[in-house]
Amino acid sequence: MNNNTFVHKYIRPLIGKDDIVADMTAGNGSDTLFLARYAKTVYAFDISEEAIRRSREKTAEYDNVILIHDNHINIDRYIKEKIRLFIFNLGYLPSSQETRITKAEETLIAFDKAYSLLEEKGYIVITFYIGHKGGKDEYYLLKDHINKNRFQIIETYSQNKIDSPITYIIRKN
Ligand SMILES: C[S@@+](CC[C@H](N)C(=O)[O-])C[C@H]1O[C@@H](n2cnc3c(N)ncnc32)[C@H](O)[C@@H]1O
């Protein structure tokens, strides 16, 4: 099973119709669409206009999606309420001219802001693509930060192949 399938299976029981959730990297809109089906409201960020267009198209039949075309480090400008679950699906938008890969230092800032917006017992789901340029550095920076701050990793997932993506599920105490 790939990481996206794992993530969807894992989080399905964790979200319900009263929950506000956020997709920090909307991309093609697959995670946003999944969240829209089960949550009350979905905030979805992407820095790429093309990603926002694709996500808008994909979630067109849902009126509970708030698409935000901005860098996710600015999340606190848009979200003023507690969030049940965040998804970070790092890396770049596949098959796009306007490729913008996530950057380790920005991901760290966005992660901390997300953590402070999380409700008690809320979740952050983060998938690292260590085979991409810069992906390993991003993984090690975040991993180190998570360990130093004793954020609670309750599950990890990876297919046992060289450089396959790694998913962490983090729960706020
Ligand atoms: C792997 S894709 C996300 C896949 C997506 N979750 C899906 O279901 O299709 C990563 C996305 O992160 C976006 N991105 C990169 N840096 C960003 C940033 N600083 N803020 C917001 N989005 C960013 C890229 O534009 C790209 O669309």
CATH of the domain at 62: 3.40.50.150
Q: Under a CB-based contact definition with an 8 Å cutoff, are residues 90 and 139 in contact?
A: no
Q: Identify which of 47, 90, 111, 126 to mutate to test ligand 1's pocket (most ligand atoms within 8 A of the CB).
A: 47
Write down the pTM of the prediction: 0.97
Spans of the chain below 50 pLDDT: none
pLDDT digits (tens, 9 = 90+) for 16-44: 999 999 999 999 999 999 999 999 999 99
Tally the domains of the chain: 1
| Separation of CA 59 and ligand 1 centre (Å) | 16
Residue type, 141: L
Residue 123 lies in domain: 3-171
Other C-beta atoms closer than 10 Å to the C-beta of 10 total: 16
Please tell me the residue having the least CA distance from ligand 1 atom 4: 27
Number of alpha helices (DSSP H) and beta strands (DSSP E) in the chain = 6, 7
Cα 108 to ligand 1 centre (Å)? 14
Q: Beta 83-89 vs 152-157: how paired, if at all?
A: unpaired
The finding on whether 100 has its CB within 6 A of some atom of ligand 1 is: yes
As to burial, measured by CB atoms within 10 angstroms (0-12 exposed, 13-18 middle, 19+ buried), residue 43 is: buried
Indicate whether residue 48 lines ligand 1 (CB < 6 A): yes
Phi, psi of 72 (to 5 degrees): -70, -10
| 3-class secondary-structure state, position 81 | coil
56 contact partners, CB below 8 Å, separation of at least 6: 29, 67
Nearest protein CA to atom 8 of ligand 1, as residue: 30
Which pLDDT score is estimated for 20?
98
- According to the model, what pLDDT value does residue 99 have? 72
Report helix, strand or coil for 96.
coil
Give residue 98's pLDDT: 63
Ligand 1 atom nearest to 45, measured from its CA: 21
At 155, list the tokens.
């599950």
The whole-angstrom separation of Cα 21 and Cα 41 is 6
pLDDT score for 100: 85
